[in-house]
Structure 1
């Protein structure tokens, strides 16, 4: 299955607001813990300066995070993102599932980071994790991240549909991300309906092609970058 639409379309959101939104979404899609709670005031300052389509849903989730039961939120996070197939945070999973083709798709993500001068630590997280892609786009290469996100735009819609079906507190976070991306149309809508109905393809073979692919070398020096929100510790942050 191929996602073709919108790959070359330019973002409509101001680059600075786009980067700030992606950085905040990246952090809020991480596992909720005491460190994230401590960052709520800083995140509110950033979110308060965003346009309404991003500010309103992100503020809603920050309220949930700040005033909700952290233990319950942590259990819900695991049950949502680690268990539910249609709520995966790994973008290649929606199109390739647990199949051999996914290994090649993961290599393409890592190569995209490398071309931008960023080395990725696969011991922390797979390179297609949504938080990783957004962190990369916010701090390193917005254009490349935009291409990766729009290429997997249908997968993000499947994630949104899964969160909506569960009444998930993370739905507003993904809605804020969606507000920065192109709308779906045509072939993408048909692909979305198929994925929502059928779920990702299954083939229990592991990810061996990703681990041994010779295209992962050589290693250039990583680029020097500065974070928008100060020091952060996102899931599998590109290095």
Structure 2
């Protein structure tokens, strides 16, 4: 479905090419009607905002949101708790899933980058895309909420993805993810401290050899979900 390509483009770094393509993005959404009506108006407003904006202003806004805020990072595994080893193996699994489906990514690309995942979903059967989005719905919903707090039009993309997903996010998991404090994008010292962590490795020689298919991704995302689940109540 080309709709996922449109949503991927909207979450990508703004360029003159993206601005010029705004009418085509609307046409794709009109033709496929995958984005639910309740989400479509806000997505159209974001497309209009990008299509009529100044490229430098759009790029500055994008950078302040996604490049200088850890809690708005467009990398899925930045938002789940656990050790770097777990995230590194999850990267291996996700990269393997892409390769098994014929999508080879560049060595410097992180496979959990949301626009890249959406590009991949655009090549898969719709039922599979629904299911995979469902496994990430709690992360997408948390990102939507954080963007909403900043009154950002980019929230529309994440709201649309949550609406398309096969599985609704669980509110308690979203609330747990939202407990991470937001960092002021202008506070460079705080930003450096927030981003300072153990390097995540993936690819040849990474930790272990995990499953590299559809089930491997789902297992890792479920593991991440369990990491933020509240502890179960003790039996009476």
TM-score, length-scaled by structure 1: 0.72
Match in the other structure for 2:122: 138
Instruction: State the alpha-carbon separation in 2 of the partners of residues 46 and 72 from structure 1.
Output: 26
TM-aligned CA distance change 1:142 to 1:112, over 3 Å: farther
* Residues 125-204 of structure 1 aligned to structure 2 (within 5 Å): 125-140=109-124, 142-182=126-166, 184=168, 188-198=170-180, 204=197
- Which of 26, 49, 52 matches 1:67? 52
Asked if the contact 1:54–1:176 (Cα under 8 Å) also holds between the matched residues in 2, the reply is yes
Give the conservation status (yes or no) of the 8 Å contact 1:99–1:203. no
Unmatched 5+ stretches in structure 2: 183-193, 213-236
Q: For the residues of structure 2 that align with 1:115 and 1:194, how far apart are their CA atoms?
A: 33
Q: Which has the higher contact order (CA 8 A, sep 6+)?
A: 1
Q: Is the 8 A contact 2:140 2:161 kept in 1?
A: no
Write out per-residue CA displacement over residues 114-170 of structure 1, whole angstroms, 9 at most, x where no aligned residue. Answer: 2223222232x2111111111111124545544433222211111111111111121
The answer for the alignment partner of 1:114 in structure 2 is 99
Specify which of 170, 193, 205 is matched with residue 198 of structure 2: 205
CA distance in 2, matches of 1:159, 1:21: 20
Counterpart Cα distance in 2 of 1:63 and 1:161: 21
Partner in structure 2 of residue 92 of structure 1: 77
Indicate whether 1:78 and 2:63 are aligned: yes
- Report the count of equivalent residues: 196
What residue in structure 1 maps to residue 17 of structure 2?
A: 35
The TM-score with structure 2 as length reference comes to 0.72
Q: CA deviation at 1:215?
A: 4.1
Q: Any stretches of 5+ residues in structure 1 without a counterpart?
A: 1-18, 219-239
